[in-house]
């Protein structure tokens, strides 16, 4: 339990850095993919249905212990942290003794603020110094970059290096980036599954998933990109290319972060 909490905290600290690199899904809005499952990059254990983003807001106003702990935390946020809003929170995920709340970040597509609240008896010694907010307390908080969730595979993102494919293109090279907290080596091409390709009138959405084996202790290096030749069933035309691993899907570019 203690090691899991430390891993969660470390993941959220890393996400704080990466979240500012992606752009703002407004909670409560949708893009036609509400039946999918989502997760925060690096935190696969906290997956939730995309439809949750359309849930009633102001979960912090509920008269229960987790909501009271959230309100007290929001009213006295750490001075070094970018202030989070006092209202408009959604309950993203819950388990016995745990509640995970989220709120959109205006102007940042696919990035939300999150606060994890737990019952005190679940806390390890490393959390005893945190201020108590009644029977429940805030364990950790931070930014969250939303991605599509696949229970069997890891979501991969991709970029285009070099010129954008011309309208006549039916093939182009996507440089695929798998989760970076592993060994810093490129993903073997055979571990990258054939992408999902959704061709519509105005856009082509391409989603990659990959098999990523995690062994023991690892560090968080950026994993080198792996080239993958994408074949379209018809010319690209004037349609926009979108990375479907991100939520909502967004255009790939050479500056895409690796998570």
Pairing of strands 203-210, 240-243: parallel
pTM of the model: 0.75
The pLDDT of residue 255 is: 36
> What is d(CA 226, CA 210) in angstroms, rounded to the nearest whole number?
11
Domain ranges of the chain: 2-148, 154-243
> What is d(CA 163, CA 185) in angstroms, rounded to the nearest whole number?
26
- Residues 236-257 have pLDDT tens digits of 999 999 999 999 999 986 433 3
> What is d(CA 137, CA 134) in angstroms, rounded to the nearest whole number?
7
The pLDDT of residue 28 is: 40
- Residues 79-90 have pLDDT tens digits of 777 889 999 999
Residue of higher predicted confidence among 44 and 223: 44
Query: Considering only CA atoms, which of 192, 202, 205, 259 is closest in space to residue 232?
Result: 205
Contact 156, 192 (CB under 8 A): yes
- Residues 20-57 have pLDDT tens digits of 333 233 444 334 454 589 988 767 778 899 989 888 89
Residue 3 CB burial class (10 angstroms; 0-12, 13-18, ≥19)? exposed
């Amino acid at each position: 339990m203690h090691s899991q909490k430390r891993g969660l905290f470390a993941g959220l600290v890393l996400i704080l850095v990466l979240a500012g690199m992606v752009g703002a899904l407004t909670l409560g809005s949708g893009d036609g993919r509400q039946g999918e499952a989502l997760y925060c990059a690096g935190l696969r254990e906290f997956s939730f249905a995309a439809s949750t983003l359309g849930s009633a807001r102001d979960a912090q106003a509920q008269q229960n212990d987790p909501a009271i702990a959230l309100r007290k935390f929001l009213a006295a946020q750490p001075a070094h942290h970018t202030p989070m809003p006092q209202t408009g929170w959604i309950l993203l995920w819950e388990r016995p003794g745990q509640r995970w709340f989220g709120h959109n970040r205006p102007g940042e597509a696919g990035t939300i603020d999150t606060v994890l609240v737990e019952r005190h008896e679940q806390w390890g010694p490393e959390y005893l110094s945190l201020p108590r907010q009644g029977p429940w307390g805030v364990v950790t908080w931070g930014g969250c970059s939303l991605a599509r969730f696949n229970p069997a595979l890891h979501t991969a993102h991709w970029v285009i290096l070099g010129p954008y494919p011309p309208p006549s293109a039916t093939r182009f090279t996507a440089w695929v980036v798998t989760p970076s907290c592993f060994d810093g080596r490129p993903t073997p091409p055979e571990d990258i599954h054939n992408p999902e390709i959704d061709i519509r009138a105005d856009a082509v959405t391409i989603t990659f998933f990959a098999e990523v084996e995690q062994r023991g202790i690892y560090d968080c290096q950026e994993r080198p990109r792996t080239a993958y030749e994408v074949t379209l069933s018809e010319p690209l035309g004037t349609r926009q290319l979108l990375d479907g691993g991100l939520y909502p899907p967004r255009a790939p570019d050479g500056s895409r972060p690796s998570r």
